[in-house]
Amino acid sequence: MESHNCWHCGKQAAESLFCRYCNSLQRPKQDYFRFMGLEPRLNLDAAELQKRFYSLSRLLHPDRFNRASATEKQYSLEATAILNDAYRTLRDPVTRAEYMLQEEGFENGVHNNKEVPPELLEEVFDLNMALEELRGGDHGARPQLERARERFLGLRREVDESLKKLYTAYDATKDRQRLVEIRGLLNRRRYIQNLVSEVEKELAP
């Protein structure tokens, strides 16, 4: 981990949030994993992440810096904002992987893919027909849509299981090819999720 000089006392030892010589709050790191004190990994222990979030929230709370210098006040605000974004991003396995892809230089992380995966063409076609019927007032289409929802939720579960295996493989090897595969699955997952949301919107009473 790179070190820098403390903005307050100038000593070259400020690697953590607070300088270990003068205890001044340092400019917060932008990297979500490092900020949380974690190695960049796709499989994270949710309980551990939450524990770190709460303890950092307390340490960085702007109320604790009421009487601090303007620099520390500013850093505590910045750090609190980063902390909240980091926690929100890292606690969800999908947004965590999207973040990792971005950090590893995959342009835009995941694309919002509107193209139908070829193996789903027929099902998506049937689904759109049923959606049209329901929108047109034909409630006979409801059972078909309910079945479609179950089917797509099942596909989403399959994607999630495959993702979990790839996360483990990537953490163990740091092989970029695994990230390429993960990106493909995240695109597929997003496509499926959009279908599920669309069906649920129409089925909502």
Residue among 1, 18, 22, 183 that touches Zn ion (CB under 5 A): 22
Q: How far apart are CA 56 and CA 51, in angstroms?
A: 9
Number of residues that bind Zn ion (CB under 5 A): 7
Least gap, CB of 78 to Zn ion (angstroms): 18
Name 1's Cβ contacts closer than 8 Å, sequence gap at least 6. 15, 34
Q: Is 8 in the site for Zn ion (CB under 5 A)?
A: yes
Q: Is 6 in the site for Zn ion (CB under 5 A)?
A: yes
CB crowding 100-123: b at 16 or more within 10 Å, else e: bbeeeebeebbeeeeeeeeebeeb
Least gap, CB of 73 to Zn ion (angstroms): 17
Residue among 21, 68, 124, 190 that touches Zn ion (CB under 5 A): 21
* Element of type H or E holding 150: helix 142-173
Q: Which is nearer to Zn ion, 21 or 106 (CB)?
A: 21
Least gap, CB of 60 to Zn ion (angstroms): 17
Site string for Zn ion, 69-108 (x = CB under 5 A): ----------------------------------------
Residue among 17, 19, 44, 182 that touches Zn ion (CB under 5 A): 19
Least gap, CB of 98 to Zn ion (angstroms): 36
Residue whose C-alpha is closest to residue 176's, from 99, 104, 107, 108: 104
Region of 13-21, 30-38, 61-69, 179-187 interacting with Zn ion (CB under 5 A): 13-21
Q: How far apart are CA 135 and CA 64, in angstroms?
A: 55
Region of 9-17, 56-64, 122-130, 132-140 interacting with Zn ion (CB under 5 A): 9-17
Other beta carbons within 10 angstroms of residue 6's beta carbon come to 20
Instruction: Give the end-to-end CA distance of the chain in Å, rounded to a whole number.
Output: 54
Residue matched to tokens 């965590």: 96
Farthest CA pair distance, the chain: 74
Region of 21-29, 40-48, 71-79, 173-181 interacting with Zn ion (CB under 5 A): 21-29
Q: Is 25 in the site for Zn ion (CB under 5 A)?
A: no
Amino acid identity of residue 20, one-letter, is R
Which residues make up the interface to Zn ion (CB under 5 A)? 6, 8-9, 19, 21-22, 24
